[in-house]
Structure 1
């Protein structure tokens, strides 16, 4: 006997129109008529009367439930279609970014190969000319000169091969660096492509599920909630914007990569630069204990660091490649600065005792590569300070200035004559001076944290300053004119290096950080090798850093 509805809780049953007769109650075999919202179940008339007629059960007509859920699914279609459009555009953007990166890096590779091809050709032509001269001389005195001629030809061939090998090795290194950058970019874009494709596949699966569950009312009712949840979850993920932003970053960083080449003190150098990158420690070089209180002044070649023992003023040179340290000068005066003029001559600025007269004698000295004195150069004396700072400009001229004075002298090392005097307006030299490849000069114009870029006419081109640069020292990359400023970072109790453009823009903070030992009382500058490596001194070691491309 059928159960009766309790008084006051009877459900009004309606016949279904357009009822799917294939969907019936598993228990009674009758057509599904209602949907119990409390239990989340589709039920027939008998189920509704017997088991779901009282609260908290709440019955909805199955037709209304089907209509409502189909409507919700249909409402999601425009969003899905719009996301598909976006993902198609993103896929095109990925391909464009990959093509753009490949094109730019191929240009870098072509520039490297073209540059070094010309250098090798130039070496060959130079050596061929020398061989022709040798042959002409040998023809005049064949019997006496023949043996000498053959020996010289052999030496020339050996020297040519040596120079070619050096150039080829440099070229190979740069091409290897370019290849590493290409691999980093390719991997990043590949990862983004996989991420994008995953979203595309997910959307396809969602569409397939929607189509499938729409075919039968039972499947629609039972699985619609899960499909809707999946749609909401995937639409909430902003994958499109994330991947697009990453692609923009990649394109921006790739465009910064460039091949830089030029001469530094008569020597040719080339490197891949332009990007900020990351500086990684490549080598640590121990400073022998015989150097009691090391103080670094500069590089005299790609591999040679000039360091003085401030305890007794002995001068040493440490070779970065061999890691060998050699004493080159016994005692003597304090060195303020040093720079190579060419492969044969080094100039040093010095600090000496007080002197009289209107000339500073012995404050600038030229040395040969064996550190034998060639001669001293004099400049006008102004004031009582006896410290002179020097550097070498792009033309091989010496730039020199006396501490606490406003004049900077341009000196021809061939005859020691002052060819130009630059006078700064309203400022004086408070330490180091550095020549830029543009011809401008960077001058330290305060005791701690101020640098000024001036033209050859004394005009101020840029003012470089940061309150955090306490006890700072500056050095310049001669190929790119990038400044590297090392300073004492009081809050962190470490030394740090900032990268700054010649226009005074701080491009990167704390690219290198290190703790200095108690072995020295003097801050040592962050040296920049012509090939672009950085060298700092923590008092116990020289730390060599190389830049790597990162995304």
Structure 2
């Protein structure tokens, strides 16, 4: 009596559909019946009897092998088809991001063109107004004044044309920068599209191979192992998520870009910014050996750096374009800071030791572009601190603060009057003062601590870093980005961190350079209105420019 199978474990019998009767053994001409697992070949009955009857040969029924190979291929097909759907969706996303990026960059181009076209129109209006004034004056004396008028008109036209050309050159440079960025984005997206298309083609080839070998049992048995291995290998190499992540990063980088513009020191500046980018060293300018202990004090223009010899207090100006250094002020006064008010006037903060009474005299001085003293500005004296730090805000007003005091004065350089007094809440001026384009002020209120305060004295943010040793701060006047120069307590090179006005560190050590033994002091890294960084290692000034990368 036959035994019964346990409940729930009944064997499911599959119907035998037979196999390709034309498939026969090349040696015996007999139909293929078995598959030798040791030698991995299909065989007929005589082969099994004569050549494969001894162990370790293990034989399987050929129909079982065919059935198992088909089952394995069928199990892989849903994965291949699902991946194909994902890649089709990814291809759609590539097109969407490419279109979005192009649209955003076109918007930036349009903003640049609109802004500079307005500037050119403004120059034309200025020319027309001046010509009208000249003509009115010329009517007074016909012959002599006509000669004078023609000369002045010619000079005026030349000057205005020069202004136009400067504006056009700046516009052309920005449009070239925008084009270069657009090319970087387009190339990256194209590379990703090619990569994705290669994967799509690979998947299509796999699907085509599966269909082909399924048509004949012989082909299926002989080629299925290699096809299965190829499928597993290709599927393991295909990682479409990294393409998607890269597209998201491209879109984020493009959308964070902006056209930054504004006035600094009486001059208009505009550039593409907002991205982190990569800072590249453009050139290094040697500081003459006659400057014993050089220390950077600030900018007097976009390409002129104020360098003081702290050994004797001599003041020098280095032009980063011509790389020429010129002595402009003999020693005697310690300069704490300087900034341009307009194209003709520079303001300097100073430290003096002979101040008495209730006024600080000689701690703020106006100079013309020939470095001749125009006049001193006096502010109230509080306490014994005799150092005054200055900067110029977006409205051309002087911002001044005395060391170890809580009052910050807003001074009109036209008449030297204090138009506003800001009192910090619970904090005092420790070192430098920097004006933000928003109207707020960044004040160093302690060693390595910078406080952002409003015009009412309200504390808006406190910025500090536990890795900053001997830090110096400078603000980008167009973007309000802070650049902190410091020496890491555990590393010798001088480094610069990029920080937002809210105190968020956006990028660490964007530039690094080794301080020389020429001076023990750490010199600050300046930010030019055009967006470049100028670092000082005490032997050389290093000019860095930012480039867009993906």
TM range (shorter): over 0.9
1:234-249 aligned at under 5 Å gives the runs: 234-249=234-249
Partner of 2:450: 451
1:150 aligns with 2:150: yes
Question: Equivalent residue for 2:224?
Answer: 224
Deviations 1:269-300 (A, max 9, x none): 10000101110001111111111111100001
When normalised by structure 2's length, the TM-score is: 0.96
Q: Is residue 376 of structure 2 the alignment partner of residue 381 of structure 1? A: no
- For residues 335-354 of structure 1, the aligned pairs below 5 Å read 335-354=335-354
Alignment match, 1:473: 472
Q: Structure 1: how far apart are the matches of 2:136 and 2:441?
A: 48
Specify the alignment match of 2:512 in structure 1.
513
User: Distance between the aligned counterparts of 1:530 and 1:29, measured in 2?
Assistant: 89
Name 1:113's counterpart in structure 2: 113
8 Å contact 1:296–1:306 — kept in the other structure? yes
Q: Does 1:214 align with 2:219?
A: no
Deviation at residue 80 of structure 1 after TM alignment: 1.1
Query: Mapping of 1:147-546 within 5 angstroms?
Result: 147-447=147-447, 449-546=448-545
CA contact (8 A) 1:365 1:373 kept: yes
Contact 1:389 1:400 in 2 (8 A): yes
Cα distance between partner residues in 2 of 1:431 and 1:135? 52
Instruction: Give deviations 1:229-250, integer Å, cap 9, x for gaps.
Output: 1111222235210110000000
Equivalent position SS for 1:140: coil
Q: Secondary structure at the match of 1:152?
A: helix
Q: Matched residues in 2 for 1:228 and 1:549: separation?
A: 44
Aligned length: 535
CA spacing shift, 1:212–1:378, aligned 2, 3 Å: same
Equivalent in the alignment of 2:547: 548
| Cα deviation digits, residues 30-81 of structure 1 (max 9, x gap) | 1100000111010000000011112111110000100110111111111111
CA contact (8 A) 1:452 1:461 kept: yes
Secondary structure of the residue that 2:189 maps to in structure 1? helix
Q: Is the 8 A contact 1:66 1:221 kept in 2?
A: yes
Q: Give the secondary-structure state (helix, strand or coil) at the position aligned to 2:446.
A: coil
Map of 2:12 onto structure 1: none
Give the TM-score taking structure 1 as reference length. Answer: 0.96
Partner SS for 2:250: helix
Which one is further off, 415-424 or 457-466? 415-424
Judge which range, 271-280 or 420-429, deviates more: 420-429
Q: Distance in 2 between matches of 1:288 and 1:185?
A: 43
Cα deviation for residue 114 of structure 1 reads 0.9
For residues 38 and 159 of structure 1, the distance between their equivalents in structure 2, rounded to whole angstroms, comes to 94
Aligned position for 2:6 = none
Q: What is the distance in 2 between the residues matched to 1:162 and 1:413? A: 28
Q: Deviations over 1:114-153 (max 9, x none)?
A: 1111111110111122112222332332211111111111
Kept in 2, the 8 Å contact 1:354–1:384? The answer is no
- The 3-state SS of whatever aligns with 2:240 is helix
Unaligned residue ranges in structure 2 (runs of 5+)? 1-15
Alignment gaps of 5+ in structure 1: 1-15
Instruction: Output the CA distance in 2 between the equivalents of 1:401 and 1:257.
Output: 35
Contact 1:392 1:399 in 2 (8 A): yes
- Range with bigger deviation, 353-362 or 204-213: 353-362
Contact 1:354–1:385 (CA under 8 A) maintained in structure 2: no
The answer for the alignment partner of 1:13 in structure 2 is none
Kept in 1, the 8 Å contact 2:468–2:489? The answer is no
- Shift in Å, 1:253: 0.4
After superposition, what is the alpha-carbon deviation per residue over 1:139-173, rounded to whole angstroms, capped at 9, x for unaligned? 33221111111111110110111001100110011
* Paired residues of 1:279 and 1:511 also in contact (CA < 8 A): yes
Q: Distance in 2 between matches of 1:505 and 1:80?
A: 45
Cα deviations across residues 306-338 of structure 1 (Å, max 9, x unaligned)?
011112111110111111111111112100000
The answer to whether the Cα contact below 8 Å between 2:390 and 2:398 also exists between their aligned partners in 1 is yes
Residues 45, 346 of structure 1: alpha-carbon distance in 2 compared, 3 angstrom cutoff: same
Q: After superposition, give the CA deviation of every residue in 1:83-139 in whole Å (9 maximum; x if it has no partner).
A: 111111100100011101100001001110111111111101111221122223323
Say if 2:71 is the partner of 1:93. no
